[in-house]
Amino acid sequence: MSFSLKKWLSSTFGVFSGKTAKPVKSRQQSPRTDRLLVDAIRMAELPSPVPAEEPRAAFVLERLNNCGLLPEVTEAGDIQVRLHSPYAGDEAPILLFTDLGSKRWHPSESLARLDAENAVGAGLSDSLGCAALLSIAEQWQERILEDENSHEIFRRDLLLLFTAKSLDDPNIGFEPILHSQRDRPCAAIGVRGLSLDRIIHSTGSYRLKISISAPPPARGEEEPPANNKVTETLIDTARTLLGVVWDTEGKTQMFIRRLEAFTVYALTPQEGFLELEIESSEAPLLEMAMNAVKATADKIGVTAGLKTETTLLSFIPPGNPERSKVLYDILRKLLKEQHVKAHEETAADPASFFSGNGIPALSLGIALGREGAKRDIININSVDEGRRVLRRLIIETGARNDL
């Protein structure tokens, strides 16, 4: 019996029932797309982030085992499974990777709310990548990757990687795959939730946290001095860094992501932090900018008589987008075939870990919608388009001999 998202949503959430339900105007979705959506909804309900993402890892392992596959769990908690093609020779596999966790899970807001057009929930987009890879594994159970309109046999192995650490973590576990004689891929495809219509040309990124705190009260003082030094220094640091011209060609940019000063019992803030992100297409410029940020923050802190500490939150290398030109060309064509208007931009992309090591790589969003701090809005019909694009991208990449 085929799986029906409509029936599942009706019985589970009570949607698609009664006279108020909106009719679906687009084409009929595939049962595989329905299953993908349900997996994403179920995963989004599981707590994250937690060490090694155990709840979500358990869900993924159960689904892979049900597909008759034998996944491995690394010491870091990553899940890795190789899908063997009976038609493959000694060719290198294609790697598909995604993030297990979410930084935006909420105990109530992550319970999805749905109607005929949208799925809504906190962090829902973060679970779509895992669900898409599970969909690929399910198709592999049938021994072939099939297009609905043709029968094309896939002639390479696939290597699926579900990472327990965030994909922007500076210690992400790509190194074992990069240096493995058996698993080093011919191409790598990162799968995320949003956005299907974005083609990202990778740039490097450092995300830093500058913590500023006042010294403890002097002996004999019961309370810290009442001044606004911490707040003023945070603002002064942000203003100074935003005014820096990092290079003459404009290849390096800096963005303030968050600024916060802490106060207790209405006292003047005695500590706070500033989170910022530096992006550059050139590795030496990126490194120079990071060192300059640290030095600037330290100098401002010393002048103000405050303690400063700079912490690395994440790092993504610049990579080599030119090495991935073949993949970009395929993706542009597939999006056009699905009538998705693509927008090309430069941004930090974990796929650059591979392109910087000579492996063609890019990242692909599965759906259209909007990602928010409190909730994501996912267009249900676009998930079917994203699933089709991903499948075709895998098939056409595997058919290439010029990677």
Q: Is residue 165 part of a domain?
A: yes
What confidence score (pLDDT) does residue 16 get? 42
Are 230 and 323 part of one and the same domain? no
- The total number of structural domains that make up the chain: 2
Are 228 and 194 part of one and the same domain? no
What confidence score (pLDDT) does residue 76 get? 84
Per residue in 308-333, pLDDT (tens digit) is 999 998 888 888 888 999 999 999 99
Residue pair 368/194 in contact by the 8 Å Cβ criterion: yes
163 pLDDT exceeds 60?
yes
The first and second tokens of residue 100, run together, are 């297990």
**235-253: average pLDDT:** 88
113 pLDDT exceeds 80?
yes
What confidence score (pLDDT) does residue 366 get? 95
**pLDDT band at 87, cuts 50/70/90?**
confident
Which residues make Cβ contacts (< 8 Å) with residue 278, sequence separation at least 6?
Answer: 205, 206, 207, 208, 246, 252, 253, 254, 286, 289, 290, 293
**How large a percentage of the chain has pLDDT more than 70?**
85
Residue pair 85/339 in contact by the 8 Å Cβ criterion: no
Are 136 and 227 part of one and the same domain? no
What confidence score (pLDDT) does residue 268 get? 76
What is the rounded distance in angstroms from the CA atom of residue 120 to the CA atom of residue 41?
9
Q: Which residue from 382, 349, 385, 366 is spatially nearest to 131, judged by alpha carbons?
A: 366
Per residue in 263-307, pLDDT (tens digit) is 655 567 888 999 999 999 888 999 999 999 999 999 998 998 899
Which residues make Cβ contacts (< 8 Å) with residue 188, sequence separation at least 6?
Answer: 94, 95, 96, 97, 351, 354, 359, 360, 361
Q: Which domain holds residue 191?
A: 5-202+318-398
What confidence score (pLDDT) does residue 22 get? 39
CB neighbours of residue 366 within 10 Å: 30
Torsion of CA 97, 103, 106, 110, to 10 degrees: -30
What confidence score (pLDDT) does residue 26 get? 44
Per residue in 334-388, pLDDT (tens digit) is 999 999 999 998 888 899 999 989 999 999 999 999 998 789 999 999 999 999 9
* Gyration radius of the chain over CA positions: 24
The values of phi and psi at residue 163, to 5°, are -90, 130
Q: Are strands 187-194 and 94-99 parallel, antiparallel or unpaired?
A: parallel
19 pLDDT exceeds 80?
no
SS3 content of the chain, % helix, strand, coil (to 5): 35, 25, 40
Are 128 and 185 part of one and the same domain? yes
Torsion of CA 21, 37, 386, 397, to 10 degrees: -160
Are 145 and 289 part of one and the same domain? no
The CATH number of the domain where 358 resides is what?
Answer: 3.40.630.10
Q: Is residue 25 part of a domain?
A: yes
What is the rounded distance in angstroms from the CA atom of residue 391 to the CA atom of residue 371?
24
Are 273 and 356 part of one and the same domain? no
Q: How far is CA 238 from each of CA 228, 270, 302, rounded to the nearest angstrom?
A: 16, 17, 16
**How large a percentage of the chain has pLDDT more than 90?**
52
What is the rounded distance in angstroms from the CA atom of residue 121 to the CA atom of residue 108?
9
Are 135 and 47 part of one and the same domain? yes
Residue 340 half-sphere exposure toward CB, CA atoms < 13 A: 28
**Of 31 and 55, the one with more pLDDT:** 55
Q: Is residue 245 part of a domain?
A: yes
Are 49 and 164 part of one and the same domain? yes
What confidence score (pLDDT) does residue 24 get? 39
**Of 34 and 11, the one with more pLDDT:** 34
Among residues 305, 330, 364, the one where a domain terminates is 305
Per residue in 183-232, pLDDT (tens digit) is 999 999 999 999 999 999 888 899 999 999 888 766 655 555 556 788 88
Are 37 and 135 part of one and the same domain? yes
Q: Is residue 273 part of a domain?
A: yes
Per residue in 92-108, pLDDT (tens digit) is 999 999 999 998 999 99
What's the 3-state SS for 115-170? CCCEEEECCHHHHHHHHHHHHHHHHHCCCCCCECCECCCCCCCEEEEEECCCCCCC
Among residues 305, 338, 354, the one where a domain terminates is 305
Are 198 and 278 part of one and the same domain? no
Q: Is residue 34 part of a domain?
A: yes
What confidence score (pLDDT) does residue 397 get? 92
pTM to 2 decimal places: 0.82
Q: Is residue 158 part of a domain?
A: yes
Are 277 and 337 part of one and the same domain? no
What confidence score (pLDDT) does residue 143 get? 62
DSSP notation for 268-291: PP-EEEEEEEEEESSHHHHHHHHH
Among residues 270, 305, 340, the one where a domain terminates is 305
**pLDDT band at 5, cuts 50/70/90?**
low
Q: Is residue 144 part of a domain?
A: yes
Residue 356's SS3 state is coil
Q: Is residue 210 part of a domain?
A: no
What confidence score (pLDDT) does residue 184 get? 94
Q: Please, what sign has the CA dihedral across residues 354, 356, 360, 364?
A: positive
What is the rounded distance in angstroms from the CA atom of residue 188 to the CA atom of residue 185?
7
- Between helix 229-242 and helix 283-304 the angle, nearest 10°, is 150
**160-174: average pLDDT:** 80
150 pLDDT exceeds 60?
no
Exposed/middle/buried for residue 259 (C-beta within 10 Å: 0-12, 13-18, 19+): middle
What is the rounded distance in angstroms from the CA atom of residue 352 to the CA atom of residue 47?
29
Q: How far is CA 57 from each of CA 47, 74, 76, 351, rounded to the nearest angstrom?
A: 11, 12, 12, 22
14 pLDDT exceeds 50?
no
What confidence score (pLDDT) does residue 118 get? 93
Are 244 and 333 part of one and the same domain? no
